[in-house]
Amino acid sequence: MGSVKQPAGTEPPSALGLALERVGDRWSLLVVEALLDGPRRFSDLAGALPGIAPNILADRLRRLEREGIVRATPYSRRPLRLDYALSAEGRDLASALRLLADWGARRGRAAGHEPLSHAACGTPLEARWYCPTCGLPVTDEETTAERLV
C-alpha cells in the first residue's frame, strides 16, 4: 500500500492500479467489509474475519489508517484500546466493494448469496454511471476517461 515510485520511462499506473496500491489485498478489503455496519473493536474484527492472524489484522488496520480509509479512536487510554471505523473515504470504497460482492454473487462463486435486489419488487439491481448535474445516466462512451479499468 502507499505510493510506489515509477521507474523512469514507464507508464504511470492506471486508476485501478492506484486503487489496488492502497487496498489491493484480500484482508484489507475484508476489514473494510467488516466495518460497513459501524465501528468495531479489534477483538470484534478478529471474530468477524475467521482465519486472520492477529498480526495481519493489526498490520492491515495500521495500513488502512495510514491511507485514510479507517479511523482509529481510543476508547481506553490505559491500556490503549481502539475502536475502528470507516472514514468518509472508506465509505466511498465500501460502495465499490458492494459492486464487487454483487458481481461475485452473480457469478455463482458466493454460494448462498443473492445479487443485490430492490426490496420493494425483488428485481436485481444494476449499477450505472450517473451525472448528478444533468440527472441522466451516462454510458462508457460518454465519459472523459480513456480507459475505466
Determine, yes or no, domain membership for 31. yes
Q: What is the span of the domain harbouring residue 42? A: 15-115
Helix, strand, coil shares, percent, the chain, to 5: 40, 15, 45
Q: What is the mean pLDDT of the chain?
A: 86
Domain count of the fold of the chain = 1
Q: How far apart are CA 112 and CA 105, in angstroms?
A: 8
Determine, yes or no, domain membership for 75. yes
Determine, yes or no, domain membership for 122. no
pLDDT in tens, 28-73: 999 999 999 999 999 999 999 999 999 999 999 999 999 999 999 9
Determine, yes or no, domain membership for 131. no
Query: Checking phi first, is residue 49 left (phi over 0); if not, alpha (psi -120 to 50) or beta?
Result: beta
Determine, yes or no, domain membership for 5. no
SS3 label, residue 56: helix
CATH number, domain with residue 94: 1.10.10.10
Determine, yes or no, domain membership for 121. no
User: Model-level pTM?
Assistant: 0.74
Determine, yes or no, domain membership for 141. no
Identify the band that residue 147 occupies on the pLDDT scale cut at 50, 70 and 90.
Answer: low
